[in-house]
Amino acid sequence: MSSEKEKILVLDFGGQYDMLIARRVRELHVFSEVVPYDSVTVDDIRNGGYSGIIFTGGPNSVEDEGSPRCDREVLSLGIPVLGICYGHQLMAYLEGGRIVGSAGGEYGKVELISSGKGIFKDVPEKSICWMSHNDVVKDVPEGFSVTAETADCACAAMVNEKRKLYGVQFHPEVTHTQFGKTILKNFVFDVCGCKGERTTEDIVSSTVSECREKIGDGRALCALSGGVDSSVAAALLNRAIGDRLICVFVDHGLLRKDEAELVENTFRPILGDNFIRVNAAERFLKRLKGVTEPEKKRKIIGEEFIRTFEDVSHKLGRVDYLVQGTIYPDVIESGKGDASTIKSHHNVGGLPSVIDFDGIIEPLRMLFKDEVRSVGRCLSLPPELIERQPFPGPGLAIRVLGEVTEEKLSVLREADAVFREEMIKGGQNEKAAQYFAVLTDSKSVGVKGDARSYGLTVVLRAVTTDDFMTAEFARVPYEILEKASNRITDQISGVTRVVYDITGKPPATVEWE
């Protein structure tokens, strides 16, 4: 448990937006921590110094046998509680309300009619909320009253003001809920009494102290990819242990065009002999030969990263800890507790069960991307590094559908470089949070040089988001897409078709694999 002065406990029942709830609370400069419902006792919560508790969503039906439930006593500790989606239903269930399945459920953007009181202060009577549920609270418990509804959900929100218990069927944490931030702000400040005094400087100070204490007189090897996360992690560890930190950049042959040289040219002048580049393309591609299943790709790459770092560690003499730039979205998408695994990240779900280090240090594990960038600015890292686009650890292996070969990688590198260049020329690089190309394993008929051709299909993908937990496709002007398409099909042999992905997250993920 954290010793923060103000903190909100996010009690995790396995929903996919759980970490996003914590992020929204932290945006209010109040610390929040996510704890699985079955790993904390009532006494832990009672003595934890929490200002408030939030019950998360979850994939289960609350009345199903074996569904995740906390002790009812949590609702009687005198600590304000907000239940979201499954958490709303669980609160009603524990207090004697009735939960039933609804015909077809509610999904997506829905009009909400709310009271304008309590946590709905400063929320218009009619607004848009984000729903994702099958069950509903049919009868509210004794002492509760309904404070919001939708066309298909008579109890979209409820409250017991005397006991400071609040429930909402929708998801205020996602950006699709128009006044979700206002609702959470009202709960955290007005109901829980928090002041919001936590700063980025506090995060840096506490993280550096924790890392210094854990490592002691030991040495650490940082897995440096050159991306935002690993670079900020390296800067934090450098502040904590100085030259006892060694940064290793593994060129696994799955990087974008010219990226390996960019990383080396950026970091070697800063780190000198403490920057090590390992050219490991051959060993990674050998392991990936014949592999087509996305999860297997990720796990192979995750294991091969670890084995490569172990090899470097052995050559250097004993290195005690491995440092990774793991962040919150990595953790949640790799699955935890009762949550579903969306995809294993190479540095989380892709890790082998046995590693030859005393431990793994992940200084950013509890942070979202925007928080990581804030920490980077606090550490005075250069803006061009802090604002770099996210790039997945498995690299282009998860943007090449099907088997990964050097030939396919070469095609994808060129297509990706063209698209990124046209996005920058057109001024769209600052509007899209991430943009890249994907090489599919499907072919289609085309015409090149007045002759029939049968070539590959490239997908262009660009999204807008502020948290990478939800995202919308970027409205890239047709002129830019047309230029990119023409250049890709003209300049790259074997590509006959270019398409643009207009799917949001959910239902898709940002990456294709």
Name the residues annotated as catalytic. Answer: 85, 171, 173
Q: What does DSSP say about strands 31-36 and 7-12: parallel, antiparallel, or unpaired?
A: parallel
Instruction: Say if residues 300 and 293 touch (Cβ distance below 8 Å).
Output: no
Q: Is residue 416 packed enough to be buried (19+ CB in 10 Å), middle (13-18) or exposed (0-12)? A: buried
Report the SS3 class of residue 43. Answer: helix
- 369-378 and 18-27 helices cross at what angle (nearest 10)? 40
Distances (CA, A) of 174 to 95, 256, 466: 27, 31, 10
Cβ neighbours of 424 (radius 10 Å): 12
Residues 300, 305, 309: CA angle, nearest 5 degrees: 150
Give the pairing type, strands 52-55 and 81-84: parallel
CA separation for the pair 120, 114 (Å, rounded): 7
DSSP 459-473: EEEEEE-SSSSSBEE
Can you tell me the distance from the alpha carbon of 485 to that of 488, in angstroms, rounded to the nearest whole number?
A: 5
Structure tokens belonging to residue 263: 């990383």
Angle formed at CA 265 by CA 261 and CA 268, multiple of 5 degrees: 125
Alpha helices (H) in 379-466, listed in sequence order: 383-386, 406-425
